Structure 1
Amino acid sequence: MEKTAIQIKESDHVATATVELLPAETVIVSGIGNGRPLRVEEKIPRGHKIALRDIAAQEEIHKYGEVIGIATEAILAGHWVHVHNCRGAKGRRFDEIHARKQGE
């Protein structure tokens, strides 16, 4: 069975695993990824994110063409992207926008 992860937008740094991924496997990045193979470097649960490229510490992480988080440490391609190595930013951005509008 071919294992896949879905990339939604060209600018995304991560893809979503459609099944559990195990180290040393090859996942096929579908969607906008157009079938690009990527080596899995650590166990990634189904529905979780895999890094499509190296992400630097403190770099914004993009998914759906939007910033969804900030890397708290360097994340290498093929690794799991989750709360242990990133912090959420999407909700905080909307809080900041709302606060600015309230100040107008």
Structure 2
Amino acid sequence: MTRAPLPTDLRLILLSPADNCLIAAARLAAGTQVEIEGERVTLVKTIELGHKVARHELAKDDKVLRYGAVIGHVNEAVARGEHLHTHNLESDYLPTYTRDAGHEFVHH
């Protein structure tokens, strides 16, 4: 018998059942309350459209899965509902590039 999933806010998308992150389907302002698998969570930071949110608590060095595949690891403990981005998520495979004010790519 398959158990029904616990309710999750419709503004958060689960791409694969194996994922431990959710994707924001809308910009979610800091202070917004969302439900993640039956637990009400208040967002500490604004989550931009398309950005990742922790589906579960993650310990330092835990792998992050998106589309069921490892995309990197967290470099610090992360709470459920916390923003997952370059400040706490490191790619295990590709360097991270950003554009500086001079529009040159800078490797981090």
Tell whether the structures are fold-level matches, with TM greater than 0.5: yes
TM-score (norm 1): 0.70
RMSD: 2.3
Q: Which residue of 2 aligns with 1:6?
A: 13
3-state secondary structure, aligned to 1:75: coil
Q: Distance in 1 between matches of 2:40 and 2:11?
A: 10
Deviation (angstroms), 1:86: 1.0
* Residue of 10, 16, 21 corresponding to 2:23: 16
- 1:73 matched to 2:39? The reply is no
- Contact 1:14 1:49 (C-alpha < 8 Å) held by counterparts: yes
Q: Which residue of 2 aligns with 1:97?
A: none
AA in 1 matched with 2:31: A
* Residue of 60, 64, 79 corresponding to 2:63: 60
The structure whose residues are more often helix, as a share, is: 1
What runs of 5+ residues in structure 2 fail to find an aligned partner?
1-8, 96-108
Q: Aligned pair count?
A: 86
Distance 1:61 1:51, change over 3 A: same
Q: Distance in 1 between matches of 2:10 and 2:31?
A: 12
What runs of 5+ residues in structure 1 fail to find an aligned partner?
93-104
